[in-house]
Structure 1
C-alpha cells in the first residue's frame, strides 16, 4: 500500500483502537470481566475482545448495549459521535453499495451541487465526471463483479451521465490531473477507449475545465500513489479496493491539496495535453488495426 494510503488507514485504525480502549475502560470501571459482559449481552466472548482491541468496529446497538451493561449510559452519545466519525472516515464498499450503484451516484450528485471547486487526480482511470457512458459501464461492471453487488448498472450509468451536466455550469470550476498511464491502461475494449479519449479532448476545451496530463517522460516531485478528489476545502475522497476514505480534518485536506498542487505543476495543459491524448489515440488505433499499420 502506498505511504499516504498507509497513513490514512493507520489514522482510521488508531481511531478504532482509541474507541476500543474507551470501551475497555468502561468495562473495567464496572468491575466486569470480558466474559461477564459478553454473557450479559448474549455475545460470544470473542466479540468483546475484538471491540476492545480495535479489530472490529461496533454498531450503534453495540455501543448502547455496552453502556447500559456497564452503567455508563451518560457516555453513550459521545461514543456514538466517535463511532459515526469513524464510519465517515472509512466506509466499506459492501456497506456503501449494498443497495446498488445508483444510490452512490446520487450521493455524489448531492456533493457536486454544493461544491464550487473540484480538484481530482487519477493515476489509473478516467475521472467519473469525464467518462463516456460506455467507459462508465465497464467500470461499474468491474465493481459489480469484484464486490458481488446488485446489478443496477443501467441506472448507475444514467446517473453518472447526468452528473456530467454540472460541467457546463459557469459557477463551478474543475481541475483534473491525469497520468498518461490512465489514458493507456486497457480497462475496456479499444473502441470504447478511443471514444473516451476523444471525449477527453472535447471536455478539455470547456471554459471552466482545466485538464492536465502528466506524460511518461515527466519528472515527478510527488509520487502518483493513488487517485483522490478534493471538494473545495471540505473533503478529500479516496477510493480503495475495499473502502472509501472520506477525510475531513483540515491537516489531511491541506496535505492532499499540497500533493495536488505538486502533481498539477508538472502536468501539460492545453495543446500540449491534447497532443499527449492524440498520440495515445494514434497508438491505440495502430495497435487495434488488423495489419498493425
Structure 2
C-alpha cells in the first residue's frame, strides 16, 4: 500500500525516478550526455541537471528527449509521470492561501467534469454529505491548524453550495464510511445527531449509494486512510500536511481495487440505515447522560 503521509522525500523519490527513466532511455539509445545535448541543441549541463534530478523537464523537453532516443512510445507515460510529480504534493498552507471558502470553490470547479465519484472516509463524514454545523466543526479544526479563521462562515456556505452537485443529472456517488465515523467525538452530540439524520436522508437519494462498514465485519484491506476517485482519471488523498493528486494508471488501478474491496465489506440501504439509527440512539444516550451529569 502507498504511504498515507506525504513528505518532501516522496516528491524527491518521484523526481529521481523520472530522471532515472530518462537517463536509461539515453543509454539504451547508445548516446552519451554530450551527444544527446548536441542532438537537442542544448547545453550539456541541462542534460546533466535533468538526469540528476536537479532540473525538472518540461513536456517539450520530454518529447524531444524521447524522439532523440528513438523512444517515442515512452513519451506519454513520462509526461504523465511529470504531471503527477507536479501535482502530487500540494501543501495545505499553499492550497489554503486564498482562504477556506476559496478552497471549497476550487474543489467545486474540479468536480464539475466528473460523472462517477467514489469516496472512502474512515474517520469523518465526507464534505459532500456534511450538515452546516458539522462542516463548521471541521473548519474550526482546520483553522486551529492552519489559520484562516476569518472566513469560516463563507467556507461553510461554499461547502453547502458544493452539495448541489448531488442533485445534478448524470452524477453518481458511491460513498463508503465506517461505523467508527459515526462514533468518533469530533463535534458536540447535538451536531452529530443532526449529521446522522442527514446521512439517513442522503442514503435515500437515487444517485447516492452510501455504505457503512460495521465494526464486526472483516475487512480484506485495512482502512488506513480516506481517498476519492473521480471517474477513472484522478485519485485524491488528503493527509495532515497536503493533498495528493494521483493520476498515473497504476495508482488509479490500485485505489480502484482498494475501494471495491472496502465497498464489499459495507452494508447498504436498510442495513446501513439500521447502523445509522443505532448510532443515532448511541449519540442520543450520550447527550442525555451529559445533560444529567
Match of residue 138 from structure 1: 137
- Residues 93 and 243, structure 1, Cα contact 8 Å, conserved in 2: yes
Q: In the superposition, relative to structure 1, how do residues 292 and 224 fare at CA in structure 2: closer, same or farther (>3 Å)?
A: farther
Match of residue 259 from structure 2: 260
Structure 2 length as normaliser, TM-score? 0.77
How many Å apart are 1:151 and its aligned residue? 2.7
* In 2: Cα distance, 1:256 partner to 1:92 partner: 22
* In 1: Cα distance, 2:207 partner to 2:101 partner: 27
- The C-alpha deviation readout for 1:196-251, integer Å capped at 9, x for no partner, is 00000000001111000001010111110000000010100000000000001111
Q: In the superposition, relative to structure 1, how do residues 251 and 187 fare at CA in structure 2: closer, same or farther (>3 Å)?
A: same
| 1:4 is the counterpart of 2:38 | no
Match of residue 91 from structure 2: 92
Match of residue 181 from structure 1: 180
Match of residue 283 from structure 2: 284
- Residues 119 and 175, structure 1, Cα contact 8 Å, conserved in 2: yes
- The C-alpha deviation readout for 1:83-110, integer Å capped at 9, x for no partner, is 7642311101011111111121112111
- Residues 4 and 224, structure 2, Cα contact 8 Å, conserved in 1: no
- Residues 189 and 287, structure 2, Cα contact 8 Å, conserved in 1: yes
Q: In the superposition, relative to structure 1, how do residues 222 and 167 fare at CA in structure 2: closer, same or farther (>3 Å)?
A: same
- The C-alpha deviation readout for 1:177-202, integer Å capped at 9, x for no partner, is 00000111111111001100000000
Superposition RMSD in Å: 3.3
- Residues 98 and 150, structure 1, Cα contact 8 Å, conserved in 2: no
Say which is worse superposed, 237-246 or 108-117, in terms of deviation: 108-117
- Residues 121 and 227, structure 2, Cα contact 8 Å, conserved in 1: yes
Structure 1 residues 21-36: aligned runs within 5 Å: 29-30=44-45
Match of residue 171 from structure 2: 172
* In 1: Cα distance, 2:147 partner to 2:52 partner: 30
Structure 1 unmatched ranges of 5 or more:
32-47, 65-73
Pairs aligned (count): 257
Q: In the superposition, relative to structure 1, how do residues 135 and 52 fare at CA in structure 2: closer, same or farther (>3 Å)?
A: farther
- Residues 84 and 247, structure 2, Cα contact 8 Å, conserved in 1: no
* In 2: Cα distance, 1:19 partner to 1:265 partner: 36
Match of residue 112 from structure 1: 111
Higher relative contact order (CA 8 A, sep 6+): 2
* In 2: Cα distance, 1:78 partner to 1:213 partner: 50
Match of residue 67 from structure 1: none
- Residues 286 and 292, structure 1, Cα contact 8 Å, conserved in 2: no
* In 1: Cα distance, 2:230 partner to 2:146 partner: 26
Structure 1 residues 110-259: aligned runs within 5 Å: 110-149=109-148, 151-259=150-258
- Residues 210 and 268, structure 2, Cα contact 8 Å, conserved in 1: yes
* In 2: Cα distance, 1:145 partner to 1:174 partner: 31
Match of residue 69 from structure 1: none
Match of residue 29 from structure 2: none
SS in 1 for 2:3: helix
How many Å apart are 1:77 and its aligned residue? 10
Structure 2 unmatched ranges of 5 or more:
23-32, 38-42, 66-78
